Every structure is written in structure tokens, then in C-alpha cells.
């Protein structure tokens, strides 16, 4: 079987609004013109900043943190309203923060592989700092997908950050988990909210209290994802982790975003099934084969 055909498109995103989201983070909403496929949680867009607003040539990848379909207006078509949570830290994101309502950016997407949210088991969403972005969207998607019999799966979210202020989007996470009758547990490195603990310590405490098998969906700094992956691999627990890498094309062509495959993934490698151009046995391209990887697919010893 060959790799599925990519569904991404280039389109225009019009800024609806930008809000302060705490600890210097921003919440951005873009209305994206059709045709543009509805993203899945874990997928991302490449945002191309207008040259007049920014000295940045390459697009910046952004995880989708929320998506709603806009009503179809006769003659104008429908579209999507997409939400993003970002930190203005460098040239690209500072330029993005300078855009106001009505400004336009080019967008490419939806890109990459999202979280497989239909995996059996209790979903445990594990977020580190701004890594909460795709997991807010995952909580929405779980709420929108009742199982047979109309039952909604009740997820658990574990949310960690360096301090209380960096639990960005905590109120949103609370709201979305409450709608699902799910549980939210927080921890901080300095103990300013929740236990003074690492999110994996929280996982260790919470996992035995959950029903049946658990399936982990995580996003955050690579050090956190490494710890989650090792925890899961040691216990035979399925875990899906959203990775980041420096990206130029976002479509598997430039080879700029390699992540090392595990020995098992190198052995199982089949070039006809990889979505990256020609594929590579040693390296997986984060943009097309990820950004969501299963724990056993990557060599965590070689990931920084």
C-alpha cells in the first residue's frame, strides 16, 4: 500500500483577533478561505508572514489549537476559523504578534500527521507549557466524537509548567475538560500551583487510578516528551508525542527537519509508505511523518 495523498492547500488567513493569553503568550484567530481541509488535532499550518510586516523569509509552523467551520454564505463559500496559541520569542512570532484584525497571511496546511484519537483506552492528554495548544484541540475533538451508544470518552489532562503563570490556557483547559466530565491535574516546577513535581511524576500517580488501558497524547518540550516516551515504553503503554523541529518547506521536500528513527523503525522502514520525498531509513521527517510520532518510532537517546 502506498502513502496517503496529502490534502494540504495554500490559502489566505485573515486575522480575526489576537488576545493576550498570559505569561507573554498570544491567542490568534484566523479565518481561512476555502478550499482548506479541516485540520486534525496535532496537525499544523505553515504561516507565511507578509514581507512588509516581517524580515522573515521562511514560514513558521504553528499547531492548530482550535478549529470551527464557518457558515457557508451563498456566493462566498464557507471557510474555517482556526485558533493558535503562540509565544512571541523571535523574529517570526514577534512579527506575527504585530498583526491586527483584517491583516492577512498566507497559510499552507493542514500539514503532518495528527493524533490517532480513536485508539482504545482512557485518553490521557499530557501538556507542558504552550504544548497545551494541540491538546486543547484534542479535547474538543474527543467531545465531538461520541462512541457507539452516544457515550463520550472521558479524558484526563495532566498539565505541567515551570510556574503557575506558564500554565497558559489553564482556564480554557478547565472549561474543555469540564464539558467532557474529564479530570484536569496540574503541577509546577516551583510548586506555585499543584504539586511541585514533573508531569511524569503526576502520570505515575494518576495512571493506576484510571480504568482499563491508558493511551497517552503529549506535547511539550522535548525533554518532557522523552520522559513520557520512556515511561510508556517501559510499561508497554501506547503514547503519541507531538514533536518540533526547525522547518522550511513543511511538506517533506527540503529534508530540513530530520528526527532519528528507532532501531525497530529502521528495520520496518518501507520507502513506498513514507510521505516524505523518497524517504530515508535513518531519519524521519518531522513535518510529514510527524509531527506526532508513536513512542517506539524514534530513538530518544539521540533527540535533543
Cβ-based nearer residue to ligand FAD, 91 or 178: 91
| Nearest residue (CB) to ligand FAD, 89 versus 101 | 89
CA distances from 15 to 28, 63, 83, 84, 152 (A): 7, 16, 10, 11, 33
Q: Which of 121, 195, 221, 256 binds ligand FES (CB under 6 A)?
A: 256
DSSP string, 162-217: SSGGGSTTHHHHHHHHHHTT-EEEEEESSSSSS-BS-HHHHHHHHGGGSSS-EEEE
Which ranges of the chain would DSSP assign to H, the alpha helix? 91-97, 133-144, 170-179, 199-206, 222-235, 263-268
Query: Does residue 18 contact residue 28 with C-beta atoms inside 8 Å?
Result: yes
Q: State which residue, 53 or 283, has the beta carbon closest to ligand FES.
A: 283
Contact between 197 and 171 under an 8 Å Cβ cutoff? The reply is no
Rank residues 59 and 123 by Cβ distance to ligand FES and give the closer one.
59
Burial class from Cβ neighbours inside 10 Å (0-12, 13-18, 19+) for residue 159 reads buried
Minimum distance from CB of 243 to ligand FAD (Å)?
Answer: 7
**What is the pattern of x (binds ligand FAD, CB under 6 A) and - over residues 122-141?**
--------x--x--------
- Out of 8, 36, 86, 240, the only residue in the binding site for ligand FAD (CB under 6 A) is 86
Asked if 257 touches ligand FES (CB under 6 A), the answer is: yes
Find which of ligand FAD, ligand FES, none residue 61 binds, CB within 5 to 8 Å per kind: ligand FAD
Q: Per-residue x/- mask for ligand FAD, residues 42 to 81, rule CB under 6 A?
A: --x-----------x---xxxx------------------
Binding flag, residue 249, ligand FES (CB under 6 A): yes
Stretch of residues binding ligand FES (CB under 6 A), selected from 18-26, 51-59, 146-154, 248-256? 248-256
- Of 177, 289, 184, 202, the C-alpha closest to 241 is 289
Q: What angle do CA 198, 24, 95 make, to 5 degrees?
A: 125
Q: Is 38 in the site for ligand FAD (CB under 6 A)?
A: no
Q: Which of 121, 248, 269, 303 binds ligand FES (CB under 6 A)?
A: 248
- Residues at the site binding ligand FES, with contacts judged by CB under 6 A: 247-250, 252-257, 285, 287
Amino acid at each position: 500500500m502506498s502513502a496517503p495523498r496529502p490534502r494540504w492547500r495554500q490559502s489566505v488567513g485573515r486575522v480575526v483577533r489576537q488576545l493576550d493569553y498570559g505569561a507573554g503568550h498570544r491567542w490568534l484567530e484566523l479565518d481561512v478561505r476555502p478550499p482548506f481541509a479541516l485540520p486534525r488535532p496535532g496537525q499544523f499550518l505553515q504561516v507565511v508572514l507578509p514581507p512588509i510586516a516581517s524580515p522573515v523569509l521562511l514560514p513558521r509552523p504553528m499547531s492548530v489549537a482550535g478549529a470551527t467551520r464557518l457558515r457557508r454564505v451563498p456566493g462566498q463559500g464557507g471557510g474555517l476559523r482556526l485558533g493558535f496559541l503562540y509565544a512571541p520569542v523571535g523574529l517570526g512570532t514577534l512579527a506575527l504578534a504585530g498583526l491586527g484584525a483584517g491583516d492577512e497571511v498566507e497559510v499552507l496546511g493542514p500539514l503532518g500527521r495528527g493524533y490517532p484519537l480513536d485508539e482504545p483506552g482512557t485518553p490521557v492528554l499530557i501538556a507542558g507549557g504552550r504544548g497545551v495548544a494541540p491538546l486543547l484541540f484534542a479535547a474538543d475533538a474527543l467531545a465531538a466524537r461520541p462512541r457507539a451508544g452516544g457515550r463520550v470518552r472521558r479524558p484526563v489532562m495532566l498539565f505541567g509548567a515551570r510556574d503557575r503563570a506558564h500554565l497558559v490556557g489553564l482556564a480554557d483547559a478547565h472549561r474543555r475538560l469540564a464539558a467532557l466530565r474529564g479530570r484536569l491535574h496540574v503541577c509546577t516546577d516551583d510548586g506555585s500551583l499543584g504539586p511541585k513535581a514533573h508531569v511524569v511524576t503526576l502520570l505515575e500517580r494518576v495512571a493506576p487510578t484510571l480504568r482499563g488501558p491508558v493511551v497517552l497524547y503529549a506535547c511539550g518540550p522535548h525533554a518532557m516528551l522523552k520522559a513520557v516516551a520512556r515511561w510508556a515504553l517501559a510499561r508497554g503503554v501506547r503514547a503519541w508525542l507531538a514533536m518540533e523541529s526547525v522547518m522550511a518547506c513543511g511538506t517533506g521536500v527540503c529534508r530540513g527537519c530530520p528526527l532519528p528513527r528507532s532501531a525497530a523503525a529502521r528495520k520496518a522502514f518501507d520507502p513506498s509508505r513514507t510521505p516524505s520525498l523518497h524517504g530515508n531509513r535513518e531519519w524521519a521527517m518531522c513535518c510529514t511523518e510527524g509531527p506526532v510520532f508513536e513512542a517506539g518510532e524514534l530513538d530518544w537517546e539521540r533527540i535533543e
